[in-house]
Amino acid sequence: MIKVRVPATSANMGPGFDSLGIALSLYNEFSFKEINEGLKFRGIPEEFCNEKNIIYEAMKYCFDKAGYKIKGLEISEIKQDVPISRGLGSSSTCIVGGLVGANEILGKKFSNDELLEMAVEIEGHPDNVAPALLGGMVVAIVEENKTFYDKVDVKSGIKFVSIIPNFRLSTEKARSVLPKEISLKDGVYNVSRAALMVACFSSGRYELIKHACKDAFHQNFRSGLINGFDAVYNKSYELGALGCYLSGAGPTIMAIIDEKDMRFSNKLKEFLKVKGLEWDILELSLDNEGTAILEGGY
């Protein structure tokens, strides 16, 4: 039995569309076992217990790359703390978990870089799968079908507050509202802020994060799909957030606060209650480890 833990991720981080992402201390755990025949699922909703299951598809992708014909497979979901379709990388945990589980069955045939290439091929972009696999804050690009990345040495002093609505928002719907083209002005706006974002996390000058979090590519378009977005976003800054942005495709809003701030979450909970918004609030920290083998493996 192989047991794998994969962290949640928060992608885009404001201006870093499809290229910036960070791993957080919220996890899904899976276990995998090669069996004599068939495909079995445990702890997974019935609607996903078939060959179109994204975990199985990722594992098969890895096995096919290795030219390995598996006899049978049992896939179990032990823990699902990462909410589905909320902008916290739930699908990436499945893709990365499946690839890593398959690679362990293969005896670690592939390196992390090779697994990342497979994950990007499946997902289509690296902003979630890279930090899910590698941990930390990752800058990643795809050029000529090859992924290039680097991890940012994030300075201490902050924590992340996930403000999670009680409804799902599919990535497909969130992408459908985006413009097909952007202006040079908006391009410069985002490039400069994405660069500042990386600099802030590297230097620890978190007083600049509020400027770096601004975006002209996607937030303004996607926020219209999220009831209460403006109210929660503005209140987060009013309560002292250092930065605030739409996590991934949404609908989760991510606030960055000082690690010593013990009032923010409770004050925000009071605000949400008054507004009648049934959203969850989770205080999280940076996960620097990425995907971990908890049991079995090589």
Alpha carbon of 30 to those of 8, 96, 131: distances in Å? 14, 11, 18
The answer to the question of whether 95 is labelled as a binding residue is no
Show contacts of 219-223: CB within 8 Å, 24+ apart. Answer: 219/14, 219/245, 219/246, 221/177, 221/178, 221/179, 222/169, 222/174, 222/177, 222/178, 222/246, 222/249, 222/250, 223/250
Ligand-binding site membership of 163 (annotated):
no
Task: Quickly tell me which residue has 């445990």 as its tokens.
Answer: 42
The annotation status of 88 as a binding-site residue, yes or no, is yes
Terminal Cα-to-Cα distance of the chain (whole angstroms): 11
- The response to whether 84 counts as a known ligand-binding position is yes
Beta strands in 81-207 (DSSP E): 137-143, 146-152, 158-164
Q: Is 87 annotated as a binding residue?
A: yes
Q: Is 15 annotated as a binding residue?
A: no
Q: Is 89 annotated as a binding residue?
A: yes
> Per the annotation, does 175 bind a ligand?
no
Q: Which H helix or E strand runs over 95? A: helix 90-105
Farthest CA pair distance, the chain: 59
d(CA 135, CA 131): 5
- Please tell me whether 9 is known to bind a ligand: no
Q: Is 86 annotated as a binding residue?
A: yes
DSSP 223: G
Angle at 159 between CA 276 and CA 9, to 5 degrees: 80
Binding residues for ATP: 83-93
Annotated binding site: 83-93
